[in-house]
Amino acid sequence: MTESNFWSRTAGRRISRRAALRGAATVGVGLGGAALIGCGGSDEVDTSSGAAAPAVATAAAAPSAATGTAPEQGKAGQTMVSNVVPGLTYGHLDPTAAIWTSSFTWPTHSMLVRRNTSNPDPDTWEVEPDLASSWETPDANTFIFKIIPGVHFHDIDPANGRVVDSADVKFSLERIGTDTPKFFRKNDFNGMTITTPDAETVQLSFPRPLGPFWSRISIPGTVVLPIEVDQTEGELITSGNPVSGTGPFIHDKWTQDEQFSVKKNPKYFKSGLPYLEGMDNFTITGGSDAVWADFRAGKIDVTAVNGWTVDSLEQAKGIPGINLESRVTVQTHWTVFNTETPPYGDVRVRKAISLVTPRHDIVQIGLRSEEVGRMLGPGGLNPDLHGSATYSWDELRTRPGYRTGTEREQDIADAKKLLDAAGFQGLKSNWKYTSSLTAWPWNDTIATLMTDEFRNVGFDFVLEPYSYSDTLVNLASVDFDIYHTPQYANGPDADDYLEFYFNPDGARNYGKWMNDKFVELMEKQNTTLDPRERNATILEIVKLLEEENPRAPTFNNLNAIATQPYVHNFWAGYYGNSIQFPDIIWRDKS
Amino acid sequence: MTSIEGTTPAGALPYGGWREWRVRRVLIGFVRARPLGAVSACVILAMAFAALFASVVSPYDPNLKNTALLLDGPTLSHPFGTDQLGRDVLTRVIYGARITLFIGLAVTAVSGGLGLAIGVTSGYFGGRVDRITVMLLDAMMAFPGLILAIALVTALGSSVLNVILAVLVGFTARVARLIRSNVLSVRSTAYVDAARATGATNVRLLVRHVVPNVVPLLIVLGSLNFGVAMLVEGSLSFLGLGPPPPTPSWGRMLSSEGQQFFRSAPWLGIFPGLVLAVAVFAFNLLGDALRDHLDPRLRGS
Amino acid sequence: MVAWDYIAKRLLFAFATFLIASSAAFFIMSIIPGDIAYRMLGDFATPKAVAELRQELGVDQPVAIRYVEWLGNLLRGDLGGSAYSQEPIVALLSRKLDVTLELAFLATMMGVVFGVPAGMLSAIRPGSWLDAFLRPASILGLAAPSFWVGLLLLLLPSTLWNYAPPRFEPLLGSPLRNLQLMVPASAVIGFAFMASISRVSRTTMLEVVREDYIRTAFAKGLSERTVVFRHALRNALIPILTLVSLQFAALLGGTVIVEQIFSLPGLGQQAIAAINTRDYPVVQGFVVFMVLVYVTVNLVLDVATTVLDPRIRFA
């Protein structure tokens, strides 16, 4: 399946929704095409968020993937214009300092290895070569990477065309672990020691097994930067200046809030790539209709429309030639409880809220379809992305809080019983939530749906909307009792979710929840190397989280990507949070 | 400045006695001389009536969901269609009048009252007080109004009260500044001098002579500001900073629902927008008519 | 003889106004909860990380100390740099100013080109059918919500003909493409602006037309055209110019909505972005700039009228 053009297989018939999602989620469809997605740059300030990504490229596999699609390649020499890169509002281009910036750095930098997109199984995590041509694992805790000899950095500051050295890799990986406030991934490679026997060899050693090693080494934030960045810290990356990388594109222009563009790297180490002459992303601030207007007028070739509604999707589908698809994202929406404040310190109250949450209404009425968003399982995990680490969709629909009909009535009755048992007398309070007319236009509707439902069990909430950036402040400073908000995982690995949201020192454990059993199980999965065995442990964690409800999952945002008829094999998928366009095949505009 | 022939020589509002027959005569005179203004006043009154008695006038409950009729176009039972939660748009527009008119009214009344107090004090007493006041007013006016409102709402959070506060600051400064210059010219008129010569106290002068003379200006400004305040509220809501949902406010209906469903359900954006435009239009027409009628000298203010 | 005293006093006055307004900006920004450290850390802010970054950025100082420091720099003409990108604020604002300036200029041009003749026409024939049409029409311009007009202007052509104006490019780079976008965008503002200009023109013309010297001019047997253009218009120009310059100054801070709808990278968008990200130096720089423009325009107008018409000084 690696060989065929994704669109050539699916364009003619609408594949089932589930299948499409599965493909997306797992990043399984291999295509020479690439991935991308995101919450459009079309956003106001607060959404820096993006989300994105996928499927990585068929990296070294490019030759094989490309071969299959060769006849479709079309002419090179065009610049792809889009509004898909999120996070244009970020003030810097440092991939280590914010998840979203990897969207900028993907095209200009390389990693050691990338996730293998042709593996459809969400339970395993395969990688393929990028800057590293090969690797070996002499024992479970040691990894030796050989980097491709003679790869040049871009001919701009600070490396100015110099050849990549193992010292660059060592520097880049150690930089991730730097104890700087801005570096959120500092625990990713805890205890790692790096040695560089020669200029082309890098050896990583860990004191104990690291379960998520392969996902961490291949998420887009783990790029190889030139060691000179060390001396220019605060000057280069942090202020948005271009930094020489080894990626298929060279950083060309970046203006905060406005534009991000790259041009072709003529000396890219994968020969024949990239096909495109450049990529140009810009922000559209007028809302999803303005984006659509631009797309229909041919101003943009590929678009990710924030706030697509099912109506827009349906309309778009009716237009011949336009390719359109929804992709699952790592953007998750939660009801976050402050577990140190009554009444949410009581697990029965949290559970009641979770039971009463109208998840089906949120999807069917709030989002108006499963193509815009889907229910989110306990722990925030989604079977499309996390496979056996969580309940399957069929199982999920039988869980309390996820059911319909008489079973839902049962859930509401149970919630009332739980509240009675907790001595709950009714509460008048504020429902803080994240509202953005451009990024999540439906959030206001969903807030209305949810609070109407909670009124039936005695919660009288007044809506209190906040922008996304205000939300971050409110959460980080624990200025809330209860909050409904979107959050982004660092990567698609289940571990990324659990670490951030629930670990006692997790950066996004805003509710201050603690649980010894959880810590113990996390330790176990973190040190389990076999992916299926690890997923079994994670499923135990999911069940624990379902009981404890430290935060109630609501829904998972999907993003829609539309491509013009002349765009071929552009595949949008999800990988970590970055947008990726590895081996785009793009037909001439004419 | 000459007054224009043919207009009712109302000059200033009669401050002698507000007897009923006089009020009626003034009203009849206004309706005859300014039919357009009278029609506008009726439109405004109708809207105010609908807003006040929304629960009686409107066919549904503004927050009543109807999942069987999501985004349904205009029909007999829902003349303005339904929204994404199946709520009746007409009902929400009527209830929206409550919020929008209330914000307009609050801003107009408070900025009018404060502006009058500041403007009269500053203009009448003059001297150092005046200079400092003018400096402060100028500083307030120098602020880009919408940006100031955005910053304030961001700081205070979005609620009806905060929106009013945010809009109020700039409006008060403008009203006070205009009232002050009006007071300056009233102060130097012959009859104020005459009254002062007879030994009238400052308080008496202010209450009997100065204030009644700036009232026409205040009324005119009020009716114009009313419209502008509604537009500012709309702009804030458009940027997502208006009163929070599910409060039906015209600005928010236009932006969050109207924009989101522009292509599939245009009625969500068209009706609130039209009603807002009509309301502001009516207030402007009324303001114009009042200005012409009450005091032709105020033309151009 | 120019009253230097008056001008000096007026300058001092303007400076005080400027100082008050820019200080107010500083304090308003400092009451907004949350600060830049949280924004810069984004999703991964932990109390420890925030504290460290705040110290690094110097925002952990008390407001009073930061104020004195900021004021000192301001008086030395140093607005500082963006807390995010370190880009000097003067450079940042002037980069964005181009767009807003062009928008304001085009809108003003539209307002003047259509508004003044409309106002004159209805003033020359008060009560005529033309007057009866133009007056409510101008009120309509003031009444139509700009965000609504803007959306319709952008989305209707798209819905009907799949047309969208080209993406923003600098005027000097490609004037034609630039204008295709900027003309409809500025028309949204120009519509309202036109309305207020035509109203003021009408009022002033009405007054001027009744002045004695106009009667004299007619009495001399001059044609209506000569009287209107040579005498009346010239005298009506001062209030119109006053309005235009004040409105122009106000426009520089009032293009936010249109910039948002048409995706224009202007001052307004920058200001909102900076408010949202709590990039205080940028917001303050923006307000300082707007206040400076306002105060200067007022000052120039004041002095100009005084110089032109000495009677005003004694009023």
Lowest mean pLDDT among B21-25, B37-41, C240-244: B21-25
> Between these two residues, B50 and A469, which has the higher pLDDT value?
B50
Segment B182-216, tens digit of pLDDT: 888 877 777 777 877 787 787 888 887 788 888 88
Lowest mean pLDDT among A89-103, A118-132, B87-101, C258-272: A89-103
B11 inside domain: no
Write the CATH number for B117: 1.10.3720.10
pLDDT of residue A394: 94
In terms of Cα–Cα distance, which of A299, A268, A272 is closest to A284? A299
pLDDT at A235 over 70: no
Residue B181, classified by CB atoms within 10 Å of its CB into exposed (0-12), middle (13-18) or buried (19+), is middle
Alpha-carbon span B29 to B27, nearest angstrom: 5
pLDDT at A581 over 80: no
B138 inside domain: yes
pLDDT of residue C160: 81
pLDDT at B104 over 80: yes
Do B171 and A478 meet the contact criterion of CB atoms below 8 Å apart? Answer: no
pLDDT of residue A86: 56
Segment C117-136, tens digit of pLDDT: 888 888 877 777 888 888 78
Lowest mean pLDDT among A24-28, A509-513, C306-310: A24-28
Grade residue A16 by pLDDT with cuts at 50, 70 and 90.
very low
- Which ipTM value was assigned to this complex? 0.81
Structure tokens given for B127: 């001297």
Do A535 and A212 meet the contact criterion of CB atoms below 8 Å apart? Answer: no
Alpha-carbon span B257 to B264, nearest angstrom: 11
B100 inside domain: yes
> Between these two residues, B243 and B88, which has the higher pLDDT value?
B88
Q: Range of B186's domain?
A: 16-294
pLDDT of residue A108: 85
Residues of C in contact with B131 (CB under 8 A): 13
Segment A42-94, tens digit of pLDDT: 333 332 233 333 332 323 333 333 333 333 444 556 788 888 765 555 667 77
Calculate the CA dihedral of residues C166, C168, C171, C177 and round it to 10 degrees.
-10
Average pLDDT over chain B reads: 81
Partner residue facing C147 (CB), from B141, B152, B235: B235
> Between these two residues, A117 and A458, which has the higher pLDDT value?
A458
Residues of C in contact with B154 (CB under 8 A): 32, 275-276
Alpha-carbon span A241 to B253, nearest angstrom: 42
Nearby residues of B103 by Cβ (< 8 Å), 6 or more positions away? B160, B163, B164, B167, B229, B230, B233
Q: Sheet holding A193-198: strands in order across?
A: A132-136, A142-147, A201-205, A193-198
pLDDT at A13 over 60: no
Partner residue facing B259 (CB), from A289, A447, A463: A289
CB of A252 less than 8 A from some CB of C: no
Positive or negative torsion for Cα B198, B201, B203, B206: positive
Q: How many angstroms away from the CA of C178 is the closest CA of chain B?
A: 25
Residue A206, classified by CB atoms within 10 Å of its CB into exposed (0-12), middle (13-18) or buried (19+), is middle
Alpha-carbon span B284 to B222, nearest angstrom: 10
Q: What are phi and psi of A260, to 5 degrees?
A: -140, 120
Of all residues in chain A, the one with the smallest CA distance to C154 is A290
Of all residues in chain A, the one with the smallest CA distance to C87 is A239
Q: What share of chain A is helix, strand, coil (3-state, %, to 5)?
A: 30, 20, 50
Most confident of A182-191, C120-129, C261-270: C261-270
pLDDT of residue A33: 27
Nearby residues of C117 by Cβ (< 8 Å), 6 or more positions away? none
Most confident of A295-304, A337-346, C198-207: A337-346
CB of C160 less than 8 A from some CB of A: no
DSSP string, C78-100: ---B-TTT--BHHHHHHHHHHHH
pLDDT of residue A89: 59
Report the percent of chain A where pLDDT is more than 90.
34
- Give the H or E element holding residue B266: none
B2 inside domain: no
Helix (H), strand (E), coil (C) string for A186-210 = CCCCCCCEEEEEECCEEEEECCCCC
Grade residue A309 by pLDDT with cuts at 50, 70 and 90.
low
Instruction: For B152-165, give one letter per residue: b (16+ CB within 10 A) or e.
Output: bbbbbbbbbebbbb
B246 inside domain: yes
Segment C12-59, tens digit of pLDDT: 888 888 888 888 888 877 776 666 777 666 666 667 777 777 777 777
Number of H-type helices and E-type strands within chain C: 14, 0
CB of A437 less than 8 A from some CB of B: yes
pLDDT at A14 over 50: no
Segment C266-302, tens digit of pLDDT: 888 888 888 877 787 888 888 888 888 888 888 888 7
As beta bridge partners, residue A113 has A129
Structure tokens given for A559: 């993003």
Q: Do A285 and C84 touch (CB under 8 A)?
A: no
Lowest mean pLDDT among A1-10, C24-33, C200-209, C285-294: A1-10
pLDDT of residue A75: 53
Report the percent of chain B where pLDDT is more than 70.
90
Q: Could you give the 3-state DSSP secondary structure of residue C27?
A: helix
In A82-224, which residue ranges form alpha helices assigned H by DSSP? 102-105, 166-176, 213-217
pLDDT of residue C309: 60
The stretch C194-221 carries a mean pLDDT of: 78
Q: Do B36 and C142 touch (CB under 8 A)?
A: no
> Between these two residues, A242 and B300, which has the higher pLDDT value?
A242
Q: How many angstroms away from the CA of A63 is the closest CA of chain C?
A: 36
Nearby residues of A8 by Cβ (< 8 Å), 6 or more positions away? A72
The stretch A14-24 carries a mean pLDDT of: 34
Q: How many angstroms away from the CA of C252 is the closest CA of chain B?
A: 8
Beta strands in A116-185 (DSSP E): 127-129, 132-136, 142-147
Alpha-carbon span A38 to A50, nearest angstrom: 5
Instruction: For C1-23, give one letter per residue: b (16+ CB within 10 A) or e.
Output: eeeeebeeebeebbebbbbbbbb
Nearby residues of A213 by Cβ (< 8 Å), 6 or more positions away? A143, A206
> Between these two residues, A43 and C78, which has the higher pLDDT value?
C78
DSSP string, A466-532: E-HHHHHHHHHTT--SEEEEEEE-SSSSHHHHHHHHHSTT-TT-TT----HHHHHHHHHHHT--SHH
In total, how many domains does chain B have? 1
Name the packing angle between helices C89-124 and C129-143 (round to 10°).
Answer: 160
Q: Could you give the 3-state DSSP secondary structure of residue A79?
A: strand
Segment A496-527, tens digit of pLDDT: 889 888 988 777 888 889 899 999 999 999 99
The stretch B5-16 carries a mean pLDDT of: 39
B123 inside domain: yes
Nearby residues of A253 by Cβ (< 8 Å), 6 or more positions away? A259, A260, A261
DSSP assignment letter at A127:
E
Segment A200-223, tens digit of pLDDT: 999 999 999 998 899 889 887 788
B3 inside domain: no
In terms of Cα–Cα distance, which of A281, A247, A245, A249 is closest to A262? A249
pLDDT of residue A47: 29
Grade residue B273 by pLDDT with cuts at 50, 70 and 90.
confident
Report the percent of chain A where pLDDT is more than 70.
76
Q: What radius of gyration, in Å, describes the C-alpha atoms of chain B?
A: 22
Q: What is the pTM of this model?
A: 0.82
Q: Do A465 and B260 touch (CB under 8 A)?
A: no
In terms of Cα–Cα distance, which of C254, C297, C247 is closest to C108? C247
Most confident of A339-348, B142-151, C209-218: A339-348
Beta strands in chain C (DSSP E): none
pLDDT of residue A460: 95
Alpha-carbon span A242 to A105, nearest angstrom: 10
Provide the CB-side half-sphere exposure for A41 (13 A, CA): 33
B156 inside domain: yes
pLDDT of residue B10: 39
